[in-house]
Amino acid sequence: MMDAQGPVVSVIHKRTHQRLEPNLVDYERTVAEFDWTKAARLLDGLPGGAGLNVAYEAVDRHLNHGRGDRTALRWLGREGQRREFSYTDLARVTNQFANALEGLNVAAGERVFVLLGRLPELYVAVLGALKARCVVTPLFSAFGPEPIATRAEIGDARVLVTTPELYKRKVQGLRPRLPGLRHVILVGQAQQDEPGVSAWSELVDTASPEYTIAPTDPETMSLLHFTSGTTGRPKGAMHVHAAVLAHLVTGRYALDLHDDDVFWCTADPGWVTGTSYGIIAPLVCGVTNVVLEAEFDAQTWYGILERERVNVWYTAPTAIRMMMKLGAEAVKGFDLSALRFMASVGEPLNPEAVVWGQEAFGMPIHDNWWQTETGGIMISNFAALDIKPGSMGRPLPGIGAAIVERDGADLRFIAEPMVDGELALKTPWPSMMRGYLHEDERYRKCFVDGWYLTGDLARRDADGYYWFVGRADDVIKSSGHLIGPFEVESALMEHPAVAEAGVIGIPDAMAGEVVKAFVALKPGREPDEALRRELLGHARQRLGAAVAPKQIEFRSNLPKTRSGKIMRRLLKARELGLPEGDLSTLESDEK
Ligand code: AMP
């Protein structure tokens, strides 16, 4: 059932007796009074008015406020190892990394790519490179060689920080494609005699721990995050140092981080959430940031929440669904009395999951929404507001949101509640992307009349809560990872048997969506089981398990428009038994 207030499900009322007063208590008043310029006073800026640098705000600033001894990073290794870095320790090791880059003559503005599992060195490299005013691109360590090569080519990677194993398996063979990649820094047992390849232990551990960050204009590029569109190669969304203000404000308001909190974000820094909220926001807020090297395992996770006395937990729907499958009982044996606030992002969070949070953890899960391009959380369920399970919440103070419809070069604003349209955000805000690298046209197309169009379809109810409806384009969200169908199709097309490929996402109870490919073969090739397996293996090898299709189906022909574009929309409608919609542009068909 649906009315102007949204689907009729029971609202979870705000908790009036919270152990700690939320940072944002009066939403309406804060929204009315909020001003980004005033909020900027919460940051220190570089000493002597030398600008603004993310790494300074995240690390060194706390030393000046007498919080240097506080634990910044608590790393929990796969084999039960434990390493802690105070803010003072982190300042020193990130200085060492910045010095190591300078020792290699890596200049400000050059790109440092990081391809690592969740190791302490990942965090040190990201922050150290930001100190050196290099541009950082974290890559997902489960990517196969192709996504790595494409991103390193587009982003002109100058330095790569990785492990010997990942280097050998995924990067070494790509070196001829990456002539601009001058330095590889290997973490771990590295025996290197290749020119341009050095060991972290020799390069970084021996560097000076003293470093002064050079003046940094807040508009200097800081992070280059790759994301996917429907067509073409991945897009490099450019972010700047000024974005750190949004990380501070969202850390405090949306995640309700308080000074003495222990915080855990389960996302991998190879994706934007893992960088913005797994590295920057918690450190800027000065809390203790827990990092778990291992992958998901419900019992291990509950054990960490208990042992580390985690106060604020930021996770994702796929993980929550996997926990739900094991039942609320599995949580009961653990002492989670420290846990105060739970949040989720990345894909739609089922209303049942929000309610399950209540049952299992004694508190609801707060869904929030953002994307690579927005740089930080934009819409959120706040600690001090009622939750409508299934809704993404309300806009962050300082963020204007609307539901719109593109009308040629104009925008039509949809004022009626619960009517579908595209989610749009009023520009500017500090963490907004400043461009897609080398793709001005693609970037410009995202904006109309001073509004950024997100590519997501949503609704707003009469109380101002936003509800996710779906994507306006063909990108796929699988286990929270955004996958561009074109990248998958291109990898399949490299196989000599493939004539054409069309890739879609199909619903999956755990992962949200999984990637499915439809493939038409070249003449003379038989669509048998052996070839299907070979193609699955080929795609997995090229793209890595996180991106490769889970299913492949052969077709003698794929539906195409008159201009020859494969109609993924139609493939999907047929796969799911949905209405086929407007077929006026259909030229050739699979049937
Ligand atoms: P990414 O840029 O990889 O972070 O993916 C961003 C996309 O993930 C958004 O444009 C949405 O399509 C989806 N997304 C993120 N958060 C949510 C949410 N809370 N509910 C539904 N979809 C979400």
Could you check whether the bond before residue 428 is cis, i.e. omega within 30 degrees of 0?
yes
Same domain, 498 and 384: no
CATH number at residue 62: 3.40.50.12780
Residue 240 is predicted with a pLDDT of 98
pLDDT band at 10 (very low <50, low <70, confident <90, very high): confident
> What is the tens place of the pLDDT at every residue in 183-234?
999 999 877 788 899 999 999 999 999 999 999 999 999 999 999 988 888 9
How much is the mean pLDDT over the chain? 95
Q: With 70 as the cut, is the pLDDT of residue 2 above it? A: no
pLDDT band at 583 (very low <50, low <70, confident <90, very high): confident
Share of the chain above pLDDT 90, in %: 91
Q: With 60 as the cut, is the pLDDT of residue 521 above it? A: yes
412 lies in some domain: no
Same domain, 498 and 367: no
Q: Whose CA is nearest to atom 20 of ligand 1?
A: 348
Q: Ligand 1: distance of its center to the CA of 370 in Å?
A: 6
Q: Determine whether the shortest distance from the Cβ of 111 to ligand 1 is under 6 A.
A: no
Q: Ligand 1: distance of its center to the CA of 346 in Å?
A: 4
- Which atom from ligand 1 is nearest to the alpha carbon of 475? 12
- Which atom from ligand 1 is nearest to the alpha carbon of 225? 2
Same domain, 22 and 146: yes
Q: Domain range for residue 543?
A: 473-588
> What is the tens place of the pLDDT at every residue in 523-548?
999 999 999 999 999 999 999 999 99
Q: Whose CA is nearest to atom 23 of ligand 1?
A: 347
> What is the tens place of the pLDDT at every residue in 16-45?
667 799 999 999 999 999 999 999 999 999
413 lies in some domain: no
Q: With 90 as the cut, is the pLDDT of residue 586 above it? A: no
Residue pair 69/86 in contact (Cβ under 8 Å)? The answer is: yes
CATH number at residue 518: 3.30.300.30
Q: Give the CA-trace dihedral at 102, 106, 111, 112, to 10 degrees.
A: -50
Same domain, 130 and 252: yes
Mean pLDDT of 294-301: 96
Mean pLDDT of 445-469: 97
Name the range with the highest mean pLDDT among 3-12, 444-453, 563-572. Answer: 444-453
Q: Determine whether the shortest distance from the Cβ of 234 to ligand 1 is under 6 A.
A: no
Q: Whose CA is nearest to atom 7 of ligand 1?
A: 371
With a CB cutoff of 8 Å and minimum separation 6, the contacts of 297 are: none
Q: Whose CA is nearest to atom 9 of ligand 1?
A: 371
Same domain, 73 and 173: yes
Per the structure, the count of domains in the chain is 2
162 lies in some domain: yes
- Which atom from ligand 1 is nearest to the alpha carbon of 273? 4
* More confident of the two residues 574 and 580: 574
Residue 591 is predicted with a pLDDT of 52
Same domain, 383 and 481: no
Mean pLDDT of 547-563: 93
The Cα 451–Cα 378 span in angstroms is: 14
Q: With 80 as the cut, is the pLDDT of residue 9 above it? A: no
461 lies in some domain: no
177 lies in some domain: yes
Q: Determine whether the shortest distance from the Cβ of 367 to ligand 1 is under 6 A.
A: yes
447 lies in some domain: no
pLDDT band at 66 (very low <50, low <70, confident <90, very high): very high
Same domain, 381 and 499: no
Burial 111-120 (b: 16+ CB within 10 A, else e): bbbbbbbbbb
434 lies in some domain: no
Residue 31 is predicted with a pLDDT of 98
Residue 8 is predicted with a pLDDT of 59
Q: Ligand 1: distance of its center to the CA of 360 in Å?
A: 25
Q: With 60 as the cut, is the pLDDT of residue 406 above it? A: yes
Pick from 340, 372, 398: which residue ends a domain? 398
Residue pair 78/85 in contact (Cβ under 8 Å)? The answer is: no
Same domain, 334 and 187: yes
Pick from 398, 425, 451: which residue ends a domain? 398
418 lies in some domain: no
**Residue in 506, 494, 487, 589 with CA at minimum distance from that of residue 552:** 506
Q: Determine whether the shortest distance from the Cβ of 369 to ligand 1 is under 6 A.
A: yes
pLDDT band at 6 (very low <50, low <70, confident <90, very high): confident
In testing the pocket of ligand 1, which one of 227, 276, 345, 371 has its CB within 8 Å of the most ligand atoms?
371
Same domain, 390 and 532: no
pLDDT band at 1 (very low <50, low <70, confident <90, very high): low
pLDDT band at 458 (very low <50, low <70, confident <90, very high): very high
pTM of the model: 0.95
Question: Per DSSP, which regions of 241-352 are E strands?
Answer: 262-265, 288-292, 312-315, 341-344
Pick from 353, 376, 398: which residue ends a domain? 398
Q: Determine whether the shortest distance from the Cβ of 354 to ligand 1 is under 6 A.
A: no
Same domain, 219 and 99: yes
pLDDT band at 565 (very low <50, low <70, confident <90, very high): confident
Residue 584 is predicted with a pLDDT of 77
User: According to DSSP H, which parts of 177-296 are helical?
Assistant: 200-203, 244-253, 272-275, 281-284
Residue 3 is predicted with a pLDDT of 72
Please tell me the chain's helix, strand, coil percentages from 3-state DSSP, rounded to the nearest 5: 30, 25, 40
Tokens of 309: 């006395």
Distances 309 to 22, 236, 301, 306, 341 between C-alpha atoms, Å: 19, 37, 12, 5, 12
